[in-house]
Homo-oligomer: A and B are copies of this chain.
Amino acid sequence: MVNAGAMSGSGNLMDFLDEPFPDVGTYEDFHTIDWLREKSRDTDRHRKITSKSKESIWEFIKSLLDAWSGWVVMLLIGLLAGTLAGVIDLAVDWMTDLKEGVCLSAFWYSHEQCCWTSNETTFEDRDKCPLWQKWSELLVNQSEGASAYILNYLMYILWALLFAFLAVSLVRVFAPYACGSGIPEIKTILSGFIIRGYLGKWTLLIKTVTLVLVVSSGLSLGKEGPLVHVACCCGNFFSSLFSKYSKNEGKRREVLSAAAAAGVSVAFGAPIGGVLFSLEELCDYINDPNMTRPVDDIPDRPAGVGVYTAMWQLALALIFKIVVTIFTFGMKIPSGLFIPSMAVGAIAGRMVGIGVEQLAYHHHDWIIFRNWCRPGADCVTPGLYAMVGAAACLGGVTRMTVSLVVIMFELTGGLEYIVPLMAAAVTSKWVADAFGKEGIYEAHIHLNGYPFLDVKDEFTHRTLATDVMRPRRGEPPLSVLTQDSMTVEDVETLIKETDYNGFPVVVSRDSERLIGFAQRRELILAIKNARQRQEGIVSNSIMYFTEEPPELPANSPHPLKLRRILNLSPFTVTDHTPMETVVDIFRKLGLRQCLVTRSGRLLGIITKKDVLRHMAQMANQDPESIMFN
């Protein structure tokens, strides 16, 4: 299963002889990277640059540039992500208003921009500036009456359908990876998985455009998750400009995680500037059902007709919003979950708040109300209940606790809400955990079968490495290479007949003592290269991984030395190692595979996929749900 990328790298083969690790992308699509290896490759690179920097001024400057490239990349990501978020905002404003009408002075103005210079000073009248024309005014010259109303309504629906249709088509045809919030995939990629094109320029473009379309169309979705994806695409783009990051999947992920943080900042308004944007975003929803501000100083009043109507409307809105959000999140469009789930929680919280307000008004002698709730005093703030409800609902969906409280803290900017927010976040996590330990993003990761080892997953079963390793009892023995007795043809046959990522190298088939591990891809490249360029390498040349060539009969062909591609420090555990420890090792060291030995003899191999399948099996889930390696 050698893909085109590997073959097209043949121009680098000359270098390859000199380099311990080839510069071609070493991992195939939908495979897991080896963190320890990436790390040691980066250390090698760093060491080389440091030693070279003493040779000349030019090399010294290059080493300085290399050291600063991280800051440069971060700066560029911040600038681009921030710009894109701003552009998306402006475009959404304009297209949302386009559903209602158009500006005569310049069609690219939103309603607000159009009426900016209007002479009307009150807020209500400002909306009615003459330059802004509703569709009915523009098309049939009517602004009032039933037919104008119906026409406007139809135009509204038409535009919304058009936007949604365009978005779905663009995603489907040009960039299937642009759908969804992107957060499950980004979590998986950050944990060390390769999904080619998921953070590509094409995805960036289509996701940005379709995000504007779907948000403008009025679907029940948020743009927070997609903005994190957009920021990660920016990170991927800029890291591809610097060889320090583009050639090392581990370093690239450092940039990507910083980019994801920038995306959250941009989306939620962590410190720099975005706070106000997010504050508005959130308050839009909390104030949605036309009531009192979140923090009011209006004394509690008995419920009038308006309150009862509002309660019914809120109850309907709650049901409708839940149903619509569930369906929207499953659609193949860019869609975030933060704002819709906060809206659901805010509506529910608001209803509870109104209920408590009335309870306090009518029963102000109850022990819990007595100290605060004299008649005519302001003691219950329904808006605060909405805020807490929003946090609780988002916490239940994503299972965030600390970061949630910090985000809400930053959004509201007030210390007095911390205690209710913390209580809500912890309670909602408890309640949600009773239904299942996975947050929505982890659930999506599992649905997609990505190999993701969650830090929170506890593995407490009593199985041992020997129960999980391959080959199982009855299976054919492990495919291994011997250090100095196989011919080139033997190895080529082995490569053709199996699709393993690599092969352990042992002293001999009898002793089975492990000496190292050879990557499939590097074997292929090395043999191809040797056959083309090295004198006397034929099919029955002996391949050896030792320092010295083996002793061969006089007329045997020239042997092929492959020690350079041998990983001399493969990771091993004994067959008696508890799987609990093995899971821990895979998780903490970011391994791709681990060899299993007993008394120094090689017994088998455990890959990340084997670990995940075993964990699924132990949790009574289908092990075949883990699809990638």
* Chain A contacts to B: CB under 8 angstroms: 36, 39-40, 43, 46-47, 271-272, 275, 406, 410, 413-415, 418-419, 422, 460, 462, 465, 507, 511, 513-516, 568-570, 572-574, 576-578, 580-581, 584-585, 588-589, 597-602
Contacts and interface: CB of A to CB of B under 8 A. Distances in A.
A581 to B, nearest CB: 5
A576 B568 contact: yes
Contacts of A589: 584-585, 588-589
Contact of A568 (B574, B584, B602): B574
Contacts of A597: 600
Nearest to A269: B415
B515 A599 contact: yes
A599 B507 contact: yes
Given A568-B574, A599-B507, A581 B40 contact: yes
9 contacts: A36-B581, A40-B580, A410-B415, A513-B599, A514-B599, A515-B599, A568-B577, A589-B589, A600-B600
Nearest to A574: B569
A74 to B, nearest CB: 12
B413 A415 contact: yes
B569 A419 contact: no
Contact of A600 (B43, B46, B514, B584): B514
A602 B572 CA distance: 13
Contact of A40 (B40, B410, B414, B578): B578
A49 to B, nearest CB: 11
A588 B577 CA distance: 17
Nearest to A598: B515
A511 B511 CA distance: 11
A385 B419 CA distance: 30
Determine how many copies of this chain the complex contains: 2
A510 to B, nearest CB: 13
Given A43-B460, A584-B589, A588-B589, A418 B568 contact: no
A514 B602 CA distance: 12
Nearest to A458: B43
Nearest to A465: B569
Given A43-B460, A599-B513, A570 B574 contact: yes
Interface centre among A36, A413, A462, A600 (most CB of B within 10 A): A600
Contacts of A568: 574, 576-577
A406 B272 CA distance: 15
B569 A577 contact: yes
Given A584-B36, A599-B515, A275 B406 contact: no
Contacts of A572: 572, 574
A465 B589 CA distance: 17
A242 B397 CA distance: 34
A589 B584 CA distance: 8
A585 B589 CA distance: 7
A514 to B, nearest CB: 6
A598 B600 CA distance: 9
A87 B273 CA distance: 42
A334 B406 CA distance: 33
Contacts of A46: 460
Contact of A272 (B413, B419, B585): B419
Given A507-B599, A569-B574, A600-B514, A462 B39 contact: no
Contact of A39 (B507, B570, B580): B580
Nearest to A602: B600
Contacts of A419: 271-272
Contacts of A511: 600
A573 B569 contact: yes
A237 to B, nearest CB: 25
Given A36-B581, A413-B414, A599-B600, 13 more contacts: A39-B581, A40-B578, A43-B578, A271-B422, A275-B415, A406-B406, A410-B415, A413-B415, A516-B574, A569-B574, A588-B589, A600-B600, A600-B602
Contacts of A581: 36, 39-40, 569
Given A415-B410, A514-B600, A597-B600, A578 B574 contact: no
